[in-house]
Amino acid sequence: MSSGALEKAKNKIGDHGVFLHGSFFDIPLEENFFDCTVSLHTIYHIDKDKQEEAVRKLIKVTKPGSPVIIVYSNPHTIISSIRSSFPIRALKKAKRLLKRAENETRIENRSDIEQEVSLYFYPHPIEWWDRFSDIAYVQILPWRSFTSDTQKRIIPNNKMGGIMFNLLFFLEERLPVFFVKHFQYPMIILTKRKS
């Protein structure tokens, strides 16, 4: 799945990067090699029982005193609570039923149907990150409060939207614990302990 993204990266970065394609678990990487390691929106797509192994490998290949920066997803947000309320669930169910009926009609009229593939997704709760305190200092900060879809729905693309963004950034800086606990994308900074 990532070969296309690697090609785009090669076109942008050229000779300034090394590009590896394969399972992260199988790629041999030198211990204490990287000055910094970054993983954006990838860990929660790994099987829930293998995520800890992946994070520990990221820490292992990073130099002592250096950060591993991970953008993750919070499974318990204010938005998800609102979406799971009864009226919203009922509206979503009605929308799904209408879409299913529409798709069935479309499928009847097509012979070349491609099967839709969904990407695995499992975010652990924020407290899960405490398990890495044995080998790293754990710091969690707000990275982005909303998914891009939600953000587009609630923040207009105009001057008022700019004001709303500035207010949001101000609040994220002043209330980081609140935003980490209740909003979408936390940034986990694991600074590898020096032996």
What percentage of the chain reaches a pLDDT higher than 90?
64
Residue 114 predicted with pLDDT over 50: no
Query: Which pLDDT value is given to residue 72?
Result: 97
pLDDT at 103 over 70: no
pLDDT tens digit string along 59-83? 999 999 999 999 999 999 988 777 6
Give one DSSP letter per residue of 108-148, joined into a string. HT-S-PPPP------PPPGGGGGGGGGTEEEEEEEEESS-H
**Per-residue model confidence as pLDDT tens digits over 16-30:** 888 888 889 999 999
Whether the predicted pLDDT of 96 surpasses 80:
no
Residue 113 pLDDT exceeds 50: no
Q: What average pLDDT is seen over the chain? A: 87
The arithmetic mean of pLDDT across residues 93-107, rounded, is: 63
In order of their start, the domains of the chain are: 3-104+121-192 (3.40.50.150)
Torsion angle defined by CA atoms of residues 124, 130, 133 and 138, in that order, rounded to the nearest 10 degrees: 80
Q: Judge whether residue 120 has pLDDT over 70.
A: yes
Q: 145 CB contacts (<8 Å, ≥6 apart)?
A: 151, 168, 172, 179, 183, 184, 185
